[in-house]
Amino acid sequence: MSAAAVARVHRALATRPRLPLATLPTPLYEATRLRAVLGGSETCPRILIKRDDLTALGLGGNKARKLEYLVADARAQGATTLITTGAVQSNHARMTAAAACVAGMRCVLVLTTSVDEPAIAGNLLLDKLYGAAIRLVPSVDPMLAVGQDEAVVAAVAAEERAAGRVPYVIPVGGSSGIGVCGYIGGTVELVEQLHDMSLSRRSRIGEGGPSRLYYASGSRGTQAGLTLGAKLCAAPYRVYGVAVSAGEPEKIERAKRIANEAAALLGLPERLEREDLVTDQNFIGEGYGIPTPAALEAITLFARSEAILLDPCYTSKAAAAMVRHLRAGDIPPTETIVFLHTGGMPALFTEGFVDRYSPDMNGYL
């Protein structure tokens, strides 16, 4: 970590309006029991878990960091209604609805679904509890997690204006230049925590600094913020995204574009190139929101070793990649890795998970 670089990023972020919504900083937790299950210090590197599932807003998750900047921007523009889109079990939609409650704003969610009447469970239940108005639109491709939502979003915005309200449209996942500021700030928080643990450089006691940061990569706003943040702060690790839905190469281009928009907004000269962005496409499985056997195993592994809950859509697929790499010996045991837990637990209480999960998936323990 470069202290001067981190101070510069702090100053740049302070120029943007921000509405405190998250409980920060989130803990950086050492998963000693998980490490032991995966072979112990002889074969497995040290594992740290950045607990962004504990941001608290609306049951927690990574979107709180983005929404702090997005909702502040909406209020600065005089908006009265937040509009966003996502899958019917979208964590981002749920947290936008929660943020609207805190900000005293109206919220309309345009949600894609493959069924006419989705079960009122998980995130959708919470959307309704937070008082969001909901418009359902048909899904187009479950691999891509997209639907016929653009025209509906435009129509909703027009309806809000006709009713005398001021709409503010947040893109899917909060993935915009403004939203990217959330994980630039999240990176600053992480590298400062690593520094406090003497892990921003090689340790004198034999274990190395963090070499890789694993996280689940969806709409790519988190990817953009983490990767740009790592570059700005001279972070010691490589940002390693694990895709949860298809859509390359357009998604990489989106991440590059919004990261560079964020840098420009903050008045910083650094820019990302395509090769800076890493996304592993090998753990998507059948598509977005459909858990793989390896993801289901990872859910059980984290729960029974650390009592940490992963979700079946995002974090479990990223954890499945990490576990496979650790079992294969791809990362030396003298190193340290970080797993970013981005939340999403409401999906554990949906038919999509319950119908696929078996509590007997513990043969590896």
- Give the catalytic positions in this structure: 90
CA distance 31 to 337: 11
Tell me if 326 sits within 8 A of 45, measured CB to CB.
yes
CA distance 91 to 344: 6
Amino acid sitting at position 82: L
CA distance 136 to 254: 25
Six token digits for residue 190: 């992480």
Six token digits for residue 93: 């939609």
CA angle 259, 262, 132 (to 5 degrees): 95
CA distance 179 to 251: 16
CA angle 329, 331, 332 (to 5 degrees): 90
The DSSP output letter for 241 is E
Q: Which helix (H) or strand (E) holds 330?
A: none
CA distance 213 to 322: 10
Tell me if 266 sits within 8 A of 329, measured CB to CB.
no
User: What burial letters (b/e) apply to 79-102, b meaning 16+ CB within 10 Å?
Assistant: bbbbbbbbbbbbbbbbbbbbbbee
